[in-house]
Amino acid sequence: MNAIDNSKMRKDDISLGDLMGVLAGAKDSPLVFYYDGRPVKPGYHVTEVKAGQFSALDCGANPEAWSEIFIQLWDIEEGDRTHMPAGRFYAIIPKVTEHVKLDDTAKLTFEVSDGVQPMQLYCASMPTLRAGAVHVELSPRPASCKPRDRWLAEQQAQTQSCCGPSTGKSACCG
């Protein structure tokens, strides 16, 4: 079975380890997630953290296997709460690992709902520190065709290696 190399995730996919690395250095800063063009409400909750080990057959009949971590955010307003400090979120993950094995390199998926609208899946970009807060942009997780994605990556790699800076040798791209 082909294991998906999590080190080759899309630029808008991060791993749990990526997120935790940034949060470790900004524990007192508010942690603000953004989705659908707006920030989560200050009273948001992390309602669930789950790890999945997946085995699948893609549309090209290729077996696949990968691990993924899902973090569920409940986007609600609650009293006079402020956005969760990064350190509080950072402390949740070790609590989860007491009961659930989490792979730091696993693809990270966020499930977000306001309790009224259906839960939506999002991937996260690398967190940024600005204006005294940790900002994490979430973007909708699109469907994809893994054989096509692999083919496109191979084409891009060939173009980059073939048509890179000239070293005086004849270029292979006509």
Look at residue 169 and tell me if it is in a domain. Answer: no
Residue 132 lies in domain:
2-158
Look at residue 173 and tell me if it is in a domain. Answer: no
Look at residue 60 and tell me if it is in a domain. Answer: yes
pTM over 0.85: no
Look at residue 80 and tell me if it is in a domain. Answer: yes
Look at residue 26 and tell me if it is in a domain. Answer: yes
Average of per-residue pLDDT across 9-28: 86
For 75-132, the pLDDT digits (tens) are 999 888 899 999 999 999 999 999 999 999 999 999 999 999 999 999 999 999 999 9
Instruction: Report whether 107 contacts 16 (CB < 8 A).
Output: no
- Tally the domains of the chain: 1
Predicted confidence at residue 174, as pLDDT, reads 47
Look at residue 163 and tell me if it is in a domain. Answer: no
Look at residue 172 and tell me if it is in a domain. Answer: no
For 28-57, the pLDDT digits (tens) are 999 999 999 999 999 999 999 999 999 999
Predicted confidence at residue 146, as pLDDT, reads 87
pLDDT grade for 6, boundaries at 50, 70 and 90: very low
Q: Report the candidate in 75, 62, 88, 89 with the shortest Cα–Cα distance to residue 36.
A: 75
Look at residue 59 and tell me if it is in a domain. Answer: yes
User: Which H, E and C letters describe 115-174, residue by residue?
Assistant: CCCCCEEEEECCCEEECCEEEEEEEECCCCCHHHHHHHHHHHHHHHHHCCCCCCCCCCCC
